[in-house]
Amino acid sequence: MRAAILKEPGSIEVCSMPRPVPAEGELLIRVKAALTCGTDLKAFLRGHALIPMPGPFGHEYAGVVVEKGKGVKRFRVGDPVMGVHSAPCRACAFCRQGHYNLCEEIMATKVLGSFAEYLLIPRHVVEQNLFRKPENIGFDEAAFLEPLACVVHGMEPLGITRRDTVLVIGSGPIGLLHLLLARLRGAKVLMTGLEEERLRTAKELGAAAVFHPSLTAKSVSAVSDGMGVDYVFECTGQPQVWESAVDYVRRGGTVVLFGGCRAGTTVTFSADRIHYDEITLKGVFHFTPRDVKRAFALLRGRKVPVKKLITGQCSLQEVPGVFARLARGEGIKYAVIPA
């Protein structure tokens, strides 16, 4: 089969490699659509601790079952499926406490390699986080399951309503998914970002205001009568943006730190602001099976128009060029269609 391999930062090669054979409890799917994402782009630009190099690339996918291992009963050959790239072990100390996203094994046993003709789905993912794709959504929409589950994990517990004003910092795919979920709850959403194309998309998706980062303080003050917003979602992973995020939230508000900074990064916040203004800083990571189920329900119900986040399609052979375009800030997400 053909597969895109991330050789080193800045270098992707499409290679021939053996087609996997599913063991007991596993499935082999023919990938019908795989999506690019911000984590992939980080790995392409500078490397990533959780994406080994050289190695298989891509982790957002949907496809059709072509072969199954012994003991798989929930799926049949020919089933269209959508899934995520990980699942908890349900045996470690964190899993026993219900913190499935913090499972000690979850990153070590994740699935990479969706930019390929075929993808092997391991047993723990098959059993917990794989679903039959509904007929009413396309394979490219179905491949949004993983990033949407991540956003659900950070936003769902907050109880955002139409009374709230939300600032999303960063207009990339994850920032735009935050916009879609916050709008679904009726909140007024402000978005800041660098790329005009993405800001135009944000406006089309219902953002009340979009602006360049240099105008954030002024814009937030104008919208909130100087109080600040109820929630800030940081979606850039830049340390200086993490630090400035607390400047835009009201007293008693919440800052969600979604964007992951480079390993070893430290940040500094005003102790007075955090303490006396009773600001909540919330780190979020990954997702739980419950989040995946919720994301699946949103996609199945067509509650979030994710199709509008797909800039275009490309073949496997075109993957290196697509990441070069993303590195230049061109586009939002691309759907890789291997066949």
Q: What pLDDT sits at residue 263?
A: 85
291 in the same domain as 143: yes
| CA dist., res. 83 & res. 293, Å (int) | 10
- Written as one letter, the residue type at 202 is A
Residue 296 confidence class, pLDDT cut points 50, 70, 90: very high
Evaluate whether 316 touches 4 at the Cβ level (below 8 Å).
yes
Nearest Cα neighbor of 152 from 50, 298, 260 is 298
- Domain finish residue from 246, 265, 283: 283
129 in the same domain as 50: yes
CATH number of residue 109's parent domain: 3.90.180.10
218 in the same domain as 165: yes
Structure tokens at 6: 């991330």
Q: What are phi and psi for residue 265, nearest 5 degrees? A: -70, 140
- Written as one letter, the residue type at 288 is T
**Which residues fall within 8 angstroms of residue 54, CB to CB, at 6 or more apart?**
5, 6, 7, 8
317 in the same domain as 247: no
Domain count, the chain: 2
What are the C-alpha distances in Å from 187 to residues 101, 163, 168? 27, 6, 12
The edge-to-edge listing of strands for the beta sheet with 209-211 is 209-211, 188-192, 165-169, 229-234, 249-257, 280-283
Evaluate whether 260 touches 239 at the Cβ level (below 8 Å).
no
217 in the same domain as 120: no
330 in the same domain as 204: no
118 in the same domain as 12: yes
- 97-133 pLDDT, tens digit each: 999 999 999 999 999 999 999 999 999 999 999 999 9
CATH number of residue 200's parent domain: 3.40.50.720
pLDDT at 185 over 90: yes
- Domain finish residue from 262, 283, 304: 283
174 in the same domain as 253: yes
As a whole number of Å, the CA-based R_g of the chain is: 20
| CA dist., res. 151 & res. 44, Å (int) | 22
CA angle 106, 263, 90 (to 5 degrees): 15
Q: What pLDDT sits at residue 120?
A: 98
CA angle 132, 64, 20 (to 5 degrees): 120
314 in the same domain as 227: no
Domain assignment of residue 240, given as a range: 157-283
328 in the same domain as 269: no
9 in the same domain as 145: yes
- 145-184 pLDDT, tens digit each: 999 999 999 999 999 999 999 999 999 999 999 999 999 9
Q: What is the DSSP letter of 328?
A: T
Q: What pLDDT sits at residue 50?
A: 84
Residue 288 confidence class, pLDDT cut points 50, 70, 90: very high
143 in the same domain as 164: no
pTM of the model: 0.96
| CA dist., res. 172 & res. 199, Å (int) | 9
Q: What pLDDT sits at residue 17?
A: 95
